[in-house]
Amino acid sequence: MKRYLFFLILILFSNLFAQTANEIIDKAENLIKGKSAHGIIEMKITTPDYERTLKMESWWEGNEKALIVVLSPRKEAGNKTLKIKNEMWNYLKNTETTIKIPPSMMLQSWNGSDFTNDDLVRESNYSDDYNTKIVSEEKYNDEDCWKIEMTPKPQAPVVWGKLYYWVQKDGFLPSQIKYFDEKGKLIRTLSFSEIKIFGSRKMPSVWKMTNNIKEGHITEFRTLEMEFDININPRKFSFQELERGN
């Protein structure tokens, strides 16, 4: 009987920590996403051979809808990406063509960056697709953080074998995410830095994705302007808007 009670207590505490891990991640994700958002973002792509910078305007509504419009450089201005749930389309202004991204291309680079098409369409609450648990409490960049291990739930439509997510205890700010394949190999690292205030929201303004397979390949997103929890006209996430000339 005592042994049964002991294991019951262990199970209860395990569930408590799993719930806490989910809550921590949800708070960190909600902090940088909000219910809806509109902003101006600069994306800098660095490789051993070249550097390339794009300025973009984006609209997001939860995890379901997004429209991203390239503002510069001039030769790419007007190119757009539309996301509706798990589907995605690219519009190329120069040829006035709309291309639906097939499943076979979901792991391809988005706009030549270290982010993939799958990163955009699979943007969902991590707690929906992963089992989570706090594995340690440690410092990252001199900030006290929870280190959370994330493993895919059965049948979850994800490509990663495991993730580690560092979240700051002060304010639930995200600090770093490491992505591993199914064999346990580190593929890439997403780090967050340069905390700024946008409206009433304190959040990292720089997201840096480092490719751990291709040396010297880095993509940095820098938030220039951002407003959260705003009303966005539903027509913004339509094919008419996608193919409308700017």
CA-based torsion, 199, 232, 208, 132: positive or negative: positive
pLDDT at 5 over 60: no
Structure tokens at 18: 């799993």
| E strand spans, 28-161 | 36-46, 51-61, 65-72, 80-84, 87-92, 97-100, 130-140, 143-152
Domains with residue ranges and CATH for the chain? 2-60+113-229 (2.50.20.10)
Confidence category of residue 1, pLDDT binned at 50, 70, 90:
low
- For residue range 121-167, list pLDDT tens digits in order: 665 568 788 999 999 999 999 999 999 999 999 988 888 999 999 99
**Rounded distance between C-alpha atoms, residue 63 and residue 17, angstroms:** 25
pTM here is 0.86
Q: Is residue 189 classed as helix, strand or coil in its secondary structure?
A: strand
**Rounded distance between C-alpha atoms, residue 119 and residue 219, angstroms:** 13
What is the pLDDT at residue 32? 87
- Tokens 């499943």 locate to 103
Peptide linkage before 73 cis (omega within 30 of 0): yes
Confidence category of residue 200, pLDDT binned at 50, 70, 90:
confident
pLDDT at 174 over 90: yes
Task: Name every residue whose Cβ is closer than 8 Å to that of residue 104 and which is 6 or more positions away in sequence.
Answer: none
- Tokens 């809806």 locate to 36
pLDDT at 104 over 90: no
Structure tokens at 37: 């958002």
pLDDT at 96 over 70: yes
Q: How far is CA 132 from each of CA 58, 140, 177, 180, 244, rounded to the nearest angstrom? A: 30, 19, 13, 15, 42
